[in-house]
Amino acid sequence: MSTRKRFATIWLGGCTGCHMSFLDMDEKLLELPALADIVYSPLMDVKTFPREVDICLVEGAVNTESDLRMLRSVRESSVSLVSFGDCAVAGNITAMRNTGGKKAALQSGFGSMGEALAVGDDNPLPQLLAQASPLHQYVAVDYFLPGCPPSAELIWYVINELLHDRQPVLDREKLRYG
């Protein structure tokens, strides 16, 4: 029986920037597989989110119905869920559409087609929720890692603490928004 941790990352309504910062961890990326099995990530070729994950970093706000389904299943399968980046923690850029409403957002993105995209039931596109929201609006979040994106050092600090069963603490020196 191996006691290796099972580690995952996923993105919802984000820009992938947080994952780019994750890749910026450089040589730490090589240390990670020594400490944990990476069982799911958009950077890997795995189709379905596995069960029994120890730590999952979730990038992006909850923006669409499919984001919400995904988030719920991640929550069910993961021991520690980390809100990864300002969009996940606070809505941030993704939630800027909330001030004008869903219709206006679709119109600005898709012009006159926006209306049709907003209502069609048989529509293949993920349906936008009325508002984009931080993860903790829907599920319990264990750790918050703000930043747009969080720095590679900070990401490593949090991952490394969690992999060693320590509590990451973001104090004045470590906290950054934006």
Partner 1 sequence: MSEIRTLTIDGEMISAPAGATVLDAAREHGIRIPTLCHLDGLSDTGACRLCLVEIEGNNRLQPACVTRVEEQMVVRSSSPRIEKYRRMILELLFAEGNHVCAVCVVNGHCDLQDLAYDVGMDHVRFDYLHPQREVDSSHDRFVLDHNRCILCARCVRVCDEIEGAQTLDIAGRGVASWIVSDLEERWGEARSCTSCGKCLLVCPTGSLFEKGLRHADSSRKADFLRYMVNVTRRQK
Binding residues (CB under 8 A) for partner 1: these are: 83, 86, 89-93, 95-96, 98-100, 131, 133-134, 136-137, 141, 144-146, 148, 170-172, 175-178
Q: By the 8 A CB rule, do 117 and 110 touch?
A: yes
Q: By the 8 A CB rule, do 147 and 86 touch?
A: yes
Q: By the 8 A CB rule, do 138 and 72 touch?
A: yes
2 binds, among partner 1, ligand SF4, none (CB under 5 to 8 A by kind): none
Query: CB-based burial of residue 76 (10 Å sphere; 0-12 exposed, 13-18 middle, 19+ buried)?
Result: exposed
14 binds, among partner 1, ligand SF4, none (CB under 5 to 8 A by kind): ligand SF4
Residue type at 22 in one-letter notation:
F
Place of tokens 């049709």: 116
Residue closer to partner 1 (CB basis): 39 or 82: 82
Alpha carbons 83 and 60: distance in angstroms, whole number: 8
Residue closer to ligand SF4 (CB basis): 53 or 61: 61
Q: Phi then psi for 174, rounded to 5 degrees?
A: -100, -25
Residue closer to partner 1 (CB basis): 39 or 61: 61
Which of 162, 138, 171 is closest to 79 using CA atoms? 162
Phi-psi label, residue 11: left if phi above 0, alpha if psi -120 to 50, beta otherwise: beta
23 binds, among partner 1, ligand SF4, none (CB under 5 to 8 A by kind): none
Residue closer to partner 1 (CB basis): 124 or 178: 178
131 binds, among partner 1, ligand SF4, none (CB under 5 to 8 A by kind): partner 1
Residue closer to partner 1 (CB basis): 4 or 103: 103
The residues that touch ligand SF4, with contacts defined as CB under 6 A, are 14-15, 17-18, 59-60, 85-87, 92-93, 148-149, 177
Q: Minimum distance between the CB of residue 61 and partner 1, rounded to whole angstroms?
A: 11
